[in-house]
Amino acid sequence: MHLETIDFNKMYIEQKKKTSFQAKNKEAWNKKASSMNQHIHNSMYNQNFLNHINLEGINSSLDIGCGPGNLSLLLSKKLKNIYCLDFSNKMLELLQENAKKENCSNIKSFNLSWYDDWSLLPKADLVIASRSMEVKNMQEALEKLDKQALKKVVLSYKVGGSFLSEDILKVLNKDINKKPDYIYIINILYKMGIKASLNFIKSEGRNTQYKNEEDFITSVSWSLGTLKEEEKNLLKEYYETRIKNQNQSDTYVEWAIIAWDKK
C-alpha cells in the first residue's frame, strides 16, 4: 500500500464517529464558559502556545474557537486587528467583558461555528485554532483555516486520543474508543500539499483545577457523559485518596502544535 492511496480524512471521520468523546453543543459550552473564564487566563498553556508563533510581519489575527479570549487578549497588545470566532455566545460575552477591563478596543467577535458560512469573515495574517479542532470533517476544517489565513496558520490538538487519564479510566473500569490523534492532521495536510511543522507543549493537568469532589465528578461527566451512581462513588473515593490532599503540580497535558506558512 502506498501513502498516496490512503484516505486519512476518511479514516479520521470514521474514528471520530466511534469515539467515546463526543463534541458538545452550544448550550453545553455556554454553561461551561464562566468556570473556564476563571482559570484559563492564568494557564501556562497560553504563553507556551504563543511562544511558537513568530509575529514578525503579522498585523492581524483570527482566533477560531476563541473562548473567553485567553489568547486574543494577549495578542491584542501586539497586533493591530484581532478577530475572534466562537459558536458560544456566552464565551463571546465574557471575551468582550475581559476586553473592556483591559482596555482592548481592537477586538471584533463573530458568533459562528465551524459549520457556518465564513464568507463574510475577515481574513487575517495569522489564523489560530487553539484546542478547538474537535470537528466532524478534519480536511474541511483545515481548508477553512487555510483559506482565511494570509500568512500563517497555527493550531493545537490534544495528544493521546483521550481527555481523561488512564488512572481515572482504570478506576471506572471503562473501555473507551479514543478520538483520532494529532497524526491524522499531519497526514491530511500532507495529502493537501501542505508541509506543516510539528512541536509539542504542555498545559496544567486537570487535577490542579478541581475545587472539590463535585467539581471533579462534573469534569469527568463532561468528557464521558452521564455516569452511573456506582461510578460516581468510585470517583468520590479516587478524589479523596488521590487528588484532594496531594500536590498535583507535576501533572501535565500534552498538546501538538501544528503550523504552516502560506505559499
Domain annotation covers residue 233: no
**H helix or E strand, kind and range, residue 10:** helix 8-18
Residue 172 to residues 158, 211, 218, 252, Cα–Cα distance (Å): 22, 21, 15, 21
Task: Enter the pTM of the model.
Answer: 0.90
Whether 145 shows a pLDDT value over 80: the answer reads yes
Whether 228 shows a pLDDT value over 70: the answer reads yes
Number of domains in the chain: 1
Domain annotation covers residue 136: yes
Query: Which residue range forms the structural domain that includes residue 146?
Result: 3-163+177-205+250-261
The pLDDT score that the predictor gives to residue 212 is: 80
- Per-residue confidence at 105, pLDDT binned at 50, 70, 90? very high
Express as a percent the part of the chain with pLDDT over 70. 96
Domain annotation covers residue 226: no
Find out whether 216 and 239 touch, Cβ atoms under 8 Å.
yes
Domain annotation covers residue 154: yes
Dihedral sign, Cα of residue 215, residue 221, residue 222, residue 226: negative
Residue count (the chain): 263
pLDDT tens-digit readout, 30-77: 999 999 999 999 999 999 999 999 999 999 999 999 999 999 999 999
The pLDDT score that the predictor gives to residue 184 is: 97
- Per-residue confidence at 125, pLDDT binned at 50, 70, 90? very high
User: Mean of the pLDDT values across residues 1-14?
Assistant: 89
Domain annotation covers residue 228: no
Helix axes 8-18, 183-191, angle to 10 degrees: 150
The pLDDT score that the predictor gives to residue 182 is: 98
Dihedral sign, Cα of residue 237, residue 242, residue 248, residue 251: negative
- Using a 10 angstrom Cβ sphere, with 0-12 exposed, 13-18 middle and 19 or more buried, the burial of residue 252 is middle
* Better pLDDT: 187 or 217: 187
**CATH code of the domain covering residue 124:** 3.40.50.150
Domain annotation covers residue 215: no
Whether 250 shows a pLDDT value over 60: the answer reads no
- CB count in 10 Å sphere of residue 64: 26
> Across the chain, what does the average pLDDT equal?
92
Domain annotation covers residue 92: yes
Cβ partners under 8 Å of residue 247, min gap 6? none
Domain annotation covers residue 56: yes
